Chains A and B, each alone.
Chain A
Amino acid sequence: MSQFGPLMLGLVLLHSVSVAPRAWGETIHRERSLYQTVLVSKRGHLLCLQFSQRRNHRLQSCRDERHRQRLALTYTKMMMSALLLNPAPGRILIVGLGGGSLPMALAALYPQASIDVVEIDRAVVEAARRYFGFQEDAGLKVHVQDARVFTRRTSGDGPAYDLIMLDAFGADYIPEHLMTQEFLQEAKALLREGGVLAANTFASSKLYDHESVTYHEVFGPFLHLRSAQSGNRIILAARSPLPSLMTLSSRAAELAEALDPYGVNIQNYPARLTSKVDWDTEARILTDQYAPANLLKER
């Protein structure tokens, strides 16, 4: 057996080299939209949405066909930690639809809540409907629009949301006008008392420092949570002072049962959430005048 070791290793390497640049699994649907390549692919029980076919692609949204309710990707589970800061959101805004797993989970968890989803790419909305069972109803509405335009139009009505989820940053492209001080101020102004903004963003590169100082400038101290494997970072910023670890833990205990069907082990999160300043506080703040997020991400 031992003499086959190198041969096996060689075959495995060859296999990974020849397979990696292709799609992540069996391609179900591929479409060049106005903004990106929308790719739906399947591997085993997982049906996933991707926006890029590059080797270092990042899965945007996945659904486990055996457990449709369950959130399949780590970062989507991490996003649910926002509920620790506001356990009963009545009005929710989600920027970036993906496969629709977050809005669907929130709609099922909070049937009384009214949820607005803003997605710039109509092709993504259609893929979510067709392949991921996403459905709009009276409480769940999709707006095909740029998020900055939506927040500006909505801001006239005053604070309107208890929870804003920002999930609009792809691995290949960041909408830079959604990562500036001015945008965050507009988003903060949309939050009601006790409201929370959760952003799915990046855990590395120069952008980490710039994004962190920008959030800190607008919200003051915030909580963040990183995933060791996926390179995702979740930022939880609130309008009111941050709750104590004790409050977070007791809320986690209360939410645990309700979140269990979604595959979210919420009780893991309080200890992992930190407000530690682990970035270069001298980094330049991102503003509408200075927003080279995509360039900074490559550094």
Chain B
Amino acid sequence: MSALIHALAFGGGFVIMSLELLGGRVLAPYFGGSIYVWGSIITVFMASLALGYLLGGRWSLRSPSLGRFGGIFLAGAVLLYPLVYFGEPAMIWIFEAIEDPRYGSLAASMLLFVCPTLMLGMISPYAVRLAITTAEESGNIAGRLYFVSTTGSALGTLGTSFYFVLWWEINTILGLLTAALLLMGAAALAANWMRRPSRTR
């Protein structure tokens, strides 16, 4: 159970940074490769993650369960995949509406990435809540979860920038990330279902 939570925290970290890196590629055809395009993306990801941490922590107060934890992943997948379809028209619309490429890229990053990133940000605090059983070990477990999720982020960054973009199209990678989130969500739901009899004792 603890191993599963750690694995899911790792996967969440992986998907977040892979998505952030793809963000630059998604925006470049409309807003270029200037430094403020990366600035917009990083700003939006940081702000969305911050909000996600807050909401994830809040949500963990109400009867936390592996099932609900899995729900975060499924919701993340549902919010992520539409990028493939509405990304282009959204960017065309913003490009027409906002002349200044700084605010254009900021608006586009917000429209495209706030929802999935916010949802994925909820993973970390929720995982901490599920993994901790006593106050003494709370720091140790939180540290370990940060360790695996940030390691996942590091590998997501490396894998995407070194290999994935060389092998696959951006939309294919977005599809794979979505599939990974669905799988992780399903794994959490399955584990929750199998644990159910023992929980009633």
Cα distance A180–B28 when bound, in Å? 11
Chain B positions within 8 Å of A288 at CB level:
25, 28-29, 170
A36 CB → nearest B CB, Å: 11
A146 and B74 alpha carbons, distance in the complex (Å): 37
Check if B33 sits within 8 Å of A177, measured CB to CB: yes
B61 interface residue (CB < 8 Å to A): no
Complex Cα–Cα for A177 and B25 (A): 8
Indicate if B54 sits at the interface (CB-CB under 8 A). no
Contacts of A291 in B (CB 8 A): 25, 165
Q: Which chain B residues (21-35) contact chain A, with CB distance < 8 Å?
A: 25, 28-35
A146 & B34 in contact (Cβ 8 Å cutoff)? yes
Q: Is A240 an interface residue (CB 8 A)?
A: no
By a CB distance below 8 angstroms, the chain B residues around A177 are: 28-29, 32-33
- Shortest Cβ gap from A107 to chain B (Å): 26
Which residues of B in the span 144-180 have a Cβ within 8 Å of any Cβ on A? 162, 165-166, 168-171
Q: Is the CB of A120 within 8 A of B32?
A: yes
Does B101 touch A at the CB level, under 8 Å?
Answer: yes
Q: How far is the CB of B87 from chain A (nearest CB, A)?
A: 11
Interface residue? A68 (CB, 8 A):
no
Complexed CA–CA distance, A182 and B88 (Å) = 13
Residues of chain A within 8 A (CB-CB) of B34 are 120, 146, 149
**Is A176 touching B28 in the complex (CB atoms < 8 A)?**
yes
Q: What residues of chain A lie closer than 8 Å to B29, measured between beta carbons? A: 148, 177, 180, 182-183, 288
B95 at the A interface (CB under 8 A): yes
Assuming the A-B contacts A176-B28, A177-B28, are A289 and B33 also in contact, with contact meaning beta carbons closer than 8 angstroms in the complex? no
What A residues does B170 contact at CB under 8 A?
Answer: 288-290
Residue of B nearest to A147 (CB): B32
A292 to B171 CA separation, bound complex (whole angstroms): 14
Q: How far is the CA of A288 from the CA of B165 in the complex (A)?
A: 11
A43 contacts partner chain B, Cβ-Cβ < 8 Å: no
C-alpha spacing A187/B162, complex, angstroms: 29
The residues in B between 1 and 34 inclusive whose CB is less than 8 angstroms from any CB of A are 25, 28-34
With both beta carbons as reference points, the residue of chain A lying nearest to B29 in the complex is identified as A288
- Per-position contact with B for A259-288: 1 when CB-CB < 8 Å, else 0? 000000000000000000000000000011
B169 touches A149 (CB 8 A): no
Distance of A34 Cα from B169 Cα, bound (Å): 29
Task: Decide yes or no whether A152 CB sits under 8 A from chain B.
Answer: yes
On chain A, the residues within 8 Å of B165 by CB distance are: 290-292, 295
Residue A154 interfacial (CB < 8 Å): no
Closest chain A residue, CB of each to CB of B27: A177
Which B residue sits closest to A35, measured CB to CB?
B35
Q: Is A175 an interface residue (CB 8 A)?
A: yes
Residue A205 at the chain B interface, CB threshold 8 Å:
no
With contacts A146-B101, A148-B28, A149-B101 known, is A175 near B33, CB below 8 A?
yes
Q: Is A74 an interface residue (CB 8 A)?
A: no
> Which of chain A's residues have a CB closer than 8 A to the CB of B168?
290
Note all chain A residues with C-beta closer than 8 A to B33.
Answer: 120, 146, 148, 175-177
Whether A149 contacts B35 in the complex (CB less than 8 A), given A289-B169, A289-B170, A292-B165, comes out as no
A256 to B34, CA, bound (A): 40
Known: A149-B101, A152-B30, A176-B25. 15 other contacts (CB 8 A): A120-B33, A120-B34, A145-B32, A146-B33, A146-B34, A148-B28, A148-B30, A148-B33, A176-B28, A176-B33, A287-B169, A288-B28, A289-B169, A290-B169, A295-B165
- 30 A-B residue pairs with CB within 8 Å: A120-B32, A120-B33, A120-B34, A146-B31, A146-B32, A146-B33, A146-B34, A146-B101, A147-B32, A148-B28, A148-B32, A149-B31, A152-B30, A176-B25, A176-B28, A177-B29, A177-B32, A177-B33, A288-B25, A288-B28, A288-B29, A288-B170, A289-B170, A290-B165, A290-B169, A290-B170, A291-B25, A291-B165, A292-B166, A295-B162
Q: Which residues of A contact B (CB under 8 A)?
A: 34-35, 120, 145-149, 152, 175-177, 180, 182-183, 287-292, 295-296
Closest 9 CB pairs of A and B: A146-B32, A289-B169, A177-B28, A149-B32, A292-B166, A288-B29, A292-B165, A290-B169, A34-B35
